[in-house]
Amino acid sequence: MAEPVLMPQPKAVAFAPGALPLTAPFAATATGCPQPLISHAIARAQADIARQRSLADPFGVGPALTIHCRSADAGYQTAAAQEGYRLEVDAHGVRIDADGPAGALHALATLRQLAGIGTDPAAIPFVRVDDAPRFAWRGVMIDTARHFMSLAALKRQVDTMERVKLDVLHLHLSDNEGFRVESRLYPKLQAAQHGEFYTQAEIRDLVAYAADRGVRIVPEFDVPAHTAAIASAYPEIAAAGDPADAMGAFDRALNPASDATYRFLDGLLGEMAGLFPDRNFHIGGDEVNDAAWSHEPTVAAFMTAHNLKSRVEMEAYFHTRIRAMLAHHGKTTVGWDEIAATPIPKDVIVQAWRNSNAVGLAVTGGHPTIVSSGYYLDQLMPAASHYAVDPVDLQADGITPDEAAQLQKISPLAGGAAKPLEIKPMPPLSPEQEKLVLGGEMAMWAELVTDEMLDARVWPRAAAIAERLWSPREVRDPDSLVRRLPLIEDELNLDGLQSDANRARMAARLSPDAPGAVTIFLQTVAPSRYATHNQGLRAMLAGVRHPPPQRLTALADAAPVDGAEALRFESLAKHLAAGDRSVIPALRSQLMIWSGNTPRFIEAAHGHPDLEAALPVNAEVATLTRLGLNALFAIEANDTLDHPSIQPQTALLARALADRAASSRPIFAFLAKPPPADLLIAIAPAIDILVKAGQASR
């Protein structure tokens, strides 16, 4: 039987010959683990395995599953949780020996993956797994302010996080666009949300739901900027910003010089602190710009009176007061890396996002640090690029000084925003300093993500980053990642993720008459990267003050970043290039499906502007799939792919590859013309592998 696909890769795995037949659900017993936590966890794992496999006797009693927790773990649901476990499968059954309940849940996640998927007789291979995470804090941040995310969608993320051993759901709950939690003290906050907010009962339900699945919820209420929603409900605590500032059109900051602001926040944050039991409480602190307080006379007077010499010192004063306030409510403050720009107490946890240098600066300042730089899912970069970023590598993510200078030339707005992203040489962290890195969080900002898009925008890429945060540093082979990712995605979809189902819904809306033609076309493309698809931002950079809202119903919104079919195709192409000719029929039938779909797409696009915009891309897919088929013919005939006759096609391929390469740097977002329909050709690299193999064959 094929070796099971595991993600995240455990610390140590040793397979042995043989397998445990699984004809019926496990006969499970648990000792030392808290109840009902462990019974619920076993039931979930059994239900998933029943979805993944076709058990011969679903109501019978199968092999033994014994779980022992060595400790009930007082630190469960904290960054100090006991997460290690040993899992052994042999002819006697499955034995799990966990350090604590978190370890038991992780072992059950591994067991699901060991069970695999299929309708053939199920069996779990004999194996011994010894596992523990590299980092304790393995999170996903979801922005619920830019687009509201339903409770059902959030619970689905929690379900899926449990299956890949992620343990922190950081919810960005307030921003300019909305304040998403019911406040009894300040009800005008949710009154403006058109019903798109979580009631306090819903928050309590979500927190309990997540806790049952080993996931902590860290709430974020972003202050003092990103607060237009608060400012419009309670203008008395807002600062006057610069009316000439382009960003000021939608960003509005609170007044840090007014006692009323601190009274308001003590009430609001205290109320919110009571809803979220996690010790950590995130107060944002990012992106206060120079215009935020420039026209607020009380701020200037306050700064003079308190000897604060810059806007940044004013921010530090504000954050120091908020930190004391939260400490009074029993909370540890977390903030984006700006909050440590000037000295602030070392117990504040810093979330590094602007570049990898920010990790070094936070750690050097003595702060426990969470790494998000390099893990921004909203940039629509492939999983492999995030996977390559090691959390403790201080050079891993950022832009070059030259790129920053180029951005400055395009627009002062882009340049100003880019300056802090610039990466500089820095000495590596010492082993002692590395201990301050708690882990990482991927960030799913939702300017361009709706509820129906959430699953496909977070997954499967989140599984790749989960591996980066869990597995030993040496686990970093991108080919192995690309091979496993579509299989893990299938498993997660089978267990309940809605990525495929929602893509089919979006295709049906785009093309009511021929949704299938759109679904197949979407397998061959990917959305353009970084902010290239952000039409509002592009318009603002071009000087438009109030760009119209962007409809998130286009092909680029439905296109996957790492489509399973494209990844599978790429893995097969690599096999062929390595000399395995047995994959030729599979490659050919996939190419014929894609190639044969191109006339259907033309037909479907007729009269639908959203689809017509992609006709040039469809034409390129037609050319490239024919080129791939020609390469396969040449390889099969032991012939060489003929250079001059395919010159126009290879020129087109070179262009598609160059477009992809250019868009692998964030600067592309502002420099390049967006591709037609904001789509890249996802299958271009695999076609290139086939063409090179064809040119080398004979």
Min dist. Cβ of residue 17 to ligand ACM (A): 50
Closer residue to ligand ACM (CB): 344 or 617: 344
Closer residue to ligand ACM (CB): 336 or 459: 336
Indicate the pairing of strand 137-143 with strand 123-131: unpaired
Min dist. Cβ of residue 378 to ligand ACM (A): 9
Q: At 492, which helix (H) or strand (E)?
A: helix 478-495
User: Rule CB under 6 A: is residue 286 a binding residue for ligand ACM?
Assistant: yes
Q: From CA 141, how far away is CA 443, in angstroms rounded?
A: 5
Interacting residue with ligand ACM among 90, 130, 271, 287 (CB under 6 A)? 287
Interacting residue with ligand ACM among 85, 264, 353, 521 (CB under 6 A)? 353
Write the binding mask 232 to 271 for ligand ACM: x where contact by CB under 6 A, - elsewhere: ----------------------------------------
Closer residue to ligand ACM (CB): 362 or 572: 362
Min dist. Cβ of residue 262 to ligand ACM (A): 23
Min dist. Cβ of residue 338 to ligand ACM (A): 8
Closer residue to ligand ACM (CB): 363 or 370: 370
Min dist. Cβ of residue 376 to ligand ACM (A): 7
Q: Which amino acid is at 669?
A: A
Closer residue to ligand ACM (CB): 372 or 499: 372
Min dist. Cβ of residue 330 to ligand ACM (A): 25
Q: Which amino acid is at 103?
A: G
Min dist. Cβ of residue 251 to ligand ACM (A): 11
Min dist. Cβ of residue 624 to ligand ACM (A): 35
Closer residue to ligand ACM (CB): 110 or 176: 176
Phi, psi at residue 404, to the nearest 5°?
A: -60, -40
Q: From CA 50, how far away is CA 672, in angstroms rounded?
A: 48
Which among 310, 221, 293 has a CA at the least distance from the CA of 257?
293
Q: From CA 340, how far away is CA 362, in angstroms rounded?
A: 7
- Two structure tokens written together for 249: 């059109």
Closer residue to ligand ACM (CB): 130 or 287: 287
Min dist. Cβ of residue 206 to ligand ACM (A): 22
Q: How many residues of this chain interact with ligand ACM, rule: CB under 6 A?
A: 4
Find the residue with minimal CB distance to ligand ACM: 286
Closer residue to ligand ACM (CB): 225 or 684: 225
Peptide bond into 512 cis (omega under 30): no
Min dist. Cβ of residue 302 to ligand ACM (A): 25
Which among 698, 657, 697 has a CA at the least distance from the CA of 680?
657
Interacting residue with ligand ACM among 148, 179, 264, 336 (CB under 6 A)? 336
Q: From CA 580, how far away is CA 692, in angstroms rounded?
A: 15
Q: Look-up: residue for tokens 């006697």?
A: 92
Alpha helices for 64-120 (secondary structure H) = 101-115
Using CB under 6 A as the binding rule, the residues of this chain from 90 to 149 that contact ligand ACM are none
The angle at the Cα of 345, spanning 341 to 348, to the nearest 5 degrees, equals 80
Question: Residue 399 in 3-state DSSP?
Answer: strand
Contact 531, 538 (CB under 8 A): yes
Q: Which amino acid is at 115?
A: A
Tell me the three-class secondary structure of 369-380, residue by residue: EEECCCCEHHHC
Min dist. Cβ of residue 549 to ligand ACM (A): 20
Question: Residue 314 in 3-state DSSP?
Answer: helix
Closer residue to ligand ACM (CB): 179 or 353: 353
What does the buried/exposed string (b/e) look like for 398-419 if buried means 16 or more CB atoms within 10 Å of the residue's CB?
A: bbeeebbebbeebbebbbebbe
Closer residue to ligand ACM (CB): 176 or 502: 176
Closer residue to ligand ACM (CB): 286 or 434: 286
* Residue 611 neighbours by CB under 8 Å, 6+ apart: 510, 511, 518, 555, 601, 604, 605
User: Rule CB under 6 A: is residue 379 a binding residue for ligand ACM?
Assistant: no
Q: Look-up: residue for tokens 């009316």?
A: 243
Packed helices 615-636 and 647-662: angle between N→C axes, nearest 10 degrees: 120
Write the binding mask 520 to 559 for ligand ACM: x where contact by CB under 6 A, - elsewhere: ----------------------------------------
User: Rule CB under 6 A: is residue 221 a binding residue for ligand ACM?
Assistant: no
Min dist. Cβ of residue 348 to ligand ACM (A): 15
Closer residue to ligand ACM (CB): 205 or 287: 287
- 597 burial class (0-12, 13-18, 19+ CB within 10 angstroms)? buried
Site residues for ligand ACM per CB under 6 A: 286-287, 336, 353
